[in-house]
Structure 1
Amino acid sequence: TRTEDVQKLVSWYLSNCKEYQVVPSADVLTFLKLGGSSLTLNRYHNRKDGWRSPCFGDLDLQPLAVLLEAEASLLGRLQVLDVSGARGLGPSGAVQLAQLIGSPRASKLVSLNLSGQRPGVEGVAALVDAVRRSKSLRSLEMRSCHFGDAGGELFAALLQEGQEVHGLEHLDLENNFISFHTCQCLQQASRGQKLQLQLVGNQVLDEVLNAVSHGLGLLLAIVGSVFLGIAASEKPYHCKVAVALYCIALNVLYIASTLFHSFYALGPTVVWVFGVLDHCAIYLLIAGSYCPFLSVFFPGALSEQKLLVSLWVMAFSGMITTAFYRGPQKKWIELSLYLGMGWSCAGCLGEMMARMGPEGSRLLVAGGLFYTGGVPFFVKGKRTLGVPDHTIWHIFVLAGSMSHYFCVLWYCVPLAGKFNVQLQ
């Protein structure tokens, strides 16, 4: 009877655990008793060591592996295997799992989750070979396994062989310390395949450079805001408000960018949220940068008010687009808005420069050119002379914001209250 068969399997598993001198897993016992098609293995806690001690490791896997290898019906019905909660499997455990996955008996296994384990290069090599032999596996998750470029190159070689060889439709390799070059190889190898490849949280060096570059910008923005606030303290009210908006926008941009690149390894949801904040902050800075110039050189002018209102409307429209639009043209829509807003002052630029003087004009134009000059690197998103293009983009942004900052400090705020010219 089924009850007798289940009891036989349970007794067999318990006997194996006793032989290997490990504590039986409640997850395995539940799987054996209920006869499901999904097995999730979690770490348990040894009463002797306390509740915080993870104990499910390579040795704990052996009694289950022996049972699955010997009992064809168990391995044959298994469709989903999730060991991400075990938090204790190393190379030998990964090799053992690979042997099970590659077995002809595992004909229904479609999903394997090894996230958080430490398979090492040896384990990854065995798993990659098992994927080749498996005829059913469609999803493989290996987040935070820390196998680096050595493991990434093994997966790249697998993907290059084509989907008819590996059969995968979903491959998650997030947070594995894979370098830019190997990530590029993985992406190129997966082109033309119906494969969802996830690589968020890799390229550690790139993200460190990105975070440090705009972290420096944040420090400069904080210090600069103090000096700019002091300079505007005795100026008319409209100048104080404009300077305050500019300083807020400048600091928000560098805070958002620094946090976005610092939190690169905290998962796709966190990366998406801070990525939205990062891109929204660009709209904020563009609109905020216009405030002191238009308020000082064209105070109270109807045209100045219309231009400012239109800029802020475009900024908030861009923020909504960034937050909610998911279409394929999102990047180009954002870039068009950035550039359109940035150069929307063309109609009043000549008069503004005439009132600002040649030195201030050079800083103003230089800032715009720096921002615009960084766009090709932002779009390219690869490397130039070994330096990440996104870091180069950050350097252009730093140069642009510094140019505009000193233009506001030296040639804009000191002239507050001296003009009352209507813009035609």
Structure 2
Amino acid sequence: MEKNITGYTKQEDIANTVTHGIGLFIGFIAVSYLIYKSIAIGSYLHLFSYTVYGASLLAIYFASTVYHYVQCDIKKLKWQKVDLVCIYFYIAGSYTPFMLLNLKGEVGLKVLASVWCIALFGSFYKLKVKNPNSFVSLVSYFAMGWFIVTAWNPFVKSISNEVLNFIKIGGFFYCLGVVFYLLDRMKYNHAIWHLFVMAGSACHFYAIAIAS
């Protein structure tokens, strides 16, 4: 069956669109809850942290849904770049509530500044470098995700065991999903990857929601 410019059949891209379209819908509900929670708490720092995280969550699902939905080759390639850039911002956005509301202080700010710097560098690389190496992007995604180990002990002390467990489970889903992402000869591998992303983001949303 004929594949499009990004390597997916029409049926595969329908599955890709539907999976993250559902994720976008659920994301709106989840983010609305966090915003409501921050208003109920009456904390501007909670509102800011949840807004940054929520915006990054919705952005990644929106960009992915549009990228797989559009059929025009030029538009598809542009949205593919946006989709990949949004991954950087989602990872950094996921750090934001934990670093500002839990870890806090100088250590939290240093970790947060570092992951956002990597996100900005990665975004620049994706948008400005012609034919960017996908391996470089994959390594930078993992570097961001694992950057928390530089402040692991104080971070673990700042959260409950339940929060930590959901962070670990979410990370496991993401890492396992990458296996399917790389199996590009497997039919519907990308849609399966999407399901793991949804599972991972659900775990991290819950961790953020109960952490503070």
Q: What TM-score do the two structures reach when normalised by structure 1?
A: 0.48
Indicate yes or no: 2:198 matched with 1:395: no
- Alignment-derived partner of residue 225 in structure 1: 31
Q: Supply the distance in 1 between the matched residues of 2:19 and 2:154 (Cα, whole angstroms).
A: 35
| 1:253 aligned partner, one-letter code | I
Equivalence map 1:258-337=2 (5 Å): 258-263=65-70, 265-267=71-73, 269-299=74-104, 301-327=105-131, 330-337=133-140
Task: Give structure 1 stretches of 5+ with no counterpart.
Answer: 1-148, 150-177, 184-197, 414-424
Q: Measured at CA, do residues 344 and 200 of structure 1 come closer, stay the same or move farther in structure 2, by a change above 3 Å? A: closer
> By how many angstroms is 1:199 displaced?
4.6
Indicate yes or no: 2:14 matched with 1:211: no
Contact 2:38 2:44 in 1 (8 A): no
- Alignment-derived partner of residue 183 in structure 2: 380
Contact 1:242 1:291 in 2 (8 A): yes
Q: Deviations over 1:336-372 (max 9, x none)?
A: 1100001100122333233322211110111112112
Q: Supply the distance in 2 between the matched residues of 1:350 and 1:285 (Cα, whole angstroms).
A: 24
| 1:350 aligned partner, one-letter code | N
Q: Measured at CA, do residues 296 and 380 of structure 1 come closer, stay the same or move farther in structure 2, by a change above 3 Å? A: same
Choose 1 or 2 for highest CA Rg: 1
Q: Measured at CA, do residues 202 and 396 of structure 1 come closer, stay the same or move farther in structure 2, by a change above 3 Å? A: closer
Contact 1:382 1:388 in 2 (8 A): no
Q: Deviations over 1:99-121 (max 9, x none)?
A: xxxxxxxxxxxxxxxxxxxxxxx
Q: Deviations over 1:289-308 (max 9, x none)?
A: 00000111123x12221211
Q: Deviations over 1:62-83 (max 9, x none)?
A: xxxxxxxxxxxxxxxxxxxxxx
Two-structure CA RMSD over aligned residues (Å): 1.7
Q: Measured at CA, do residues 200 and 276 of structure 1 come closer, stay the same or move farther in structure 2, by a change above 3 Å? A: closer
> By how many angstroms is 1:334 displaced?
0.3
Indicate yes or no: 2:145 matched with 1:347: no
Q: Supply the distance in 1 between the matched residues of 2:175 and 2:42 (Cα, whole angstroms).
A: 31
Q: Name the SS for the 2:60 alignment partner.
A: helix
Query: Is the strand fraction higher in 1 or 2?
Result: 1
Indicate yes or no: 2:170 matched with 1:367: yes
* Identity level (%): 26
Contact 2:67 2:79 in 1 (8 A): yes
More relative contact order, 1 or 2 (CA 8 Å, 6+ apart): 2
The size of the alignment, in residue pairs, is: 211
Contact 2:111 2:151 in 1 (8 A): no
Q: Measured at CA, do residues 287 and 199 of structure 1 come closer, stay the same or move farther in structure 2, by a change above 3 Å? A: closer
Contact 2:103 2:158 in 1 (8 A): no
- Alignment-derived partner of residue 134 in structure 1: none
Q: What TM-score do the two structures reach when normalised by structure 2?
A: 0.93
Contact 2:122 2:140 in 1 (8 A): yes
Contact 1:353 1:360 in 2 (8 A): no
Q: Supply the distance in 2 between the matched residues of 1:240 and 1:226 (Cα, whole angstroms).
A: 11
Query: Is the helix fraction higher in 1 or 2?
Result: 2
| 1:243 aligned partner, one-letter code | Y
Equivalence map 1:88-107=2 (5 Å): none
Q: Name the SS for the 1:305 alignment partner.
A: helix
Q: Supply the distance in 2 between the matched residues of 1:357 and 1:201 (Cα, whole angstroms).
A: 43
Q: Name the SS for the 1:286 alignment partner.
A: helix
Contact 2:174 2:200 in 1 (8 A): yes
| 2:206 aligned partner, one-letter code | F
> By how many angstroms is 1:228 displaced?
0.9
Q: Deviations over 1:135-176 (max 9, x none)?
A: xxxxxxxxxxxxxx4xxxxxxxxxxxxxxxxxxxxxxxxxxx
Task: Give structure 2 stretches of 5+ with no counterpart.
Answer: none
| 1:354 aligned partner, one-letter code | K
| 1:332 aligned partner, one-letter code | F
| 1:237 aligned partner, one-letter code | Y
> By how many angstroms is 1:270 displaced?
0.6
Q: Name the SS for the 1:339 alignment partner.
A: helix
Q: Supply the distance in 1 between the matched residues of 2:135 and 2:149 (Cα, whole angstroms).
A: 22
